[in-house]
Amino acid sequence: MSEINFIDLQYFQKKINEIQLNPLLIVKKEVNLGEALKLMAQHKVGVIAISKEGSDSRIENIEGIITERDFLNKSPINQKNWEQLLVTDLMTKNPSFLDGNLALEHAVKLMIFKKYKQIFIKSLDGEIKVLGAREVLLDIAKVFKKDLDSIGILKNPAFGIEGIIADIVDEKPWEGLEIYNKMVLHAGVLHYPVKKLINQVALIFDENDSTLSVLSKLRQENLAAAVMVRHGTLISGIVTERDFLFKVYGKVLDLDNTPIKNIMTNNPHFLFDRNKLGYALNNILTFNYRNILVLDEEKYPLSIVTLLDILDYLCRKVFDHGVMISI
């Protein structure tokens, strides 16, 4: 077996500030939800901070935050003129921050344990910035660039047995590494099947179901995405919290009489559950989406794998159930 690229705990001792951090979008506390929503759509971000005054992004000036999940789960969309409510009515107060000089291990464990897609970092210049799961995965992908390049991308593999078994690699050649050191993420993991990333069963709706019924179920199950089908099993699209954020909120819609097919993303990319995990990582980073639809051999939706699902699975290889370690 040729030399194997790997990541161990030492990799996660690098400082958080060494990873790409994104600027934090800030609004004054006098801004209403409608204005905040427009800004989030304009900048294509899923989180916004509320300042006590001005656009100062220092910790002492941040009063709260609003995420796309807050809009999905907490916004009173059935309330007349809800968009006129102030951001302070919806925000999460006193958000936590991590010092950028801490080891990356702290940030990743916080993401996994709390299910945060992004966390807030005090950067070297004293301002608050955002570290997302995508940025961590991008950094991990650099270590395995050669391996990921050799795997490539796979958009909507052909139906039938050829598509299902395409490029499947037996896990057994890598089992020795797992036994030898359980705290190493090695390149062989990229050849494991996508089904290892599945944490939850897909939520499935008919494409003609009302947008309100889908939203209500997502809130009830605390999920961020669902699959749409026609004729019972034929996949027609997916809908995510980002679709609700940019296509529903702030629009004049009768959600109870608007079919979900009007806002869903049509013909989403997918993978079979037996395709390589490396395809999932490459696809999600190449096409800049945050969810991957996973199908079984009968073309039936099994799950929607997220950025956090991938990060969780990969990092558990290093932390050896690290989510149970104090953060």
Closest CA to 124 of 243, 242, 17, 244: 17
- Span 156-209, pLDDT tens digits: 786 544 444 555 555 555 555 554 456 788 898 999 999 999 999 999 999 999
Q: Contact at 8 Å (CB) between 221 and 177?
A: no
Higher pLDDT: 320 or 254? It is 254
Candidate from 143-152, 153-162, 252-261 with smallest mean pLDDT:
153-162
Q: Contact at 8 Å (CB) between 136 and 108?
A: yes
Q: Given this model, what pLDDT does residue 160 score?
A: 47
pTM for this model (two decimals): 0.87
Q: Given this model, what pLDDT does residue 77 score?
A: 67
Residue for token digits 């939706």? 301
pLDDT band at 327 (very low <50, low <70, confident <90, very high): very low
Residue for token digits 């499947």? 168
Query: Is residue 2 classed exposed, middle or buried when 0-12, 13-18 and 19+ CB atoms within 10 A define those classes?
Result: exposed
d(CA 280, CA 306): 10
d(CA 190, CA 282): 10
Q: Contact at 8 Å (CB) between 307 and 134?
A: yes
> Would you say domain 12-132 falls under CATH 3.10.580.10?
yes
- Span 37-88, pLDDT tens digits: 889 988 888 899 998 876 666 777 888 999 888 888 887 766 677 788 899 9
Return the domain boundaries, the chain.
12-132
For residue 181, give Cα distances in angstroms to 22, 85, 143, 177.
34, 54, 18, 6
d(CA 159, CA 124): 50
Residue for token digits 């605390």? 222
Percent of the chain topping pLDDT 70: 86
- Res. 270: pLDDT tops 80: yes
- Beta-carbon contacts of 321 under 8 Å, excluding residues fewer than 6 positions away, are none
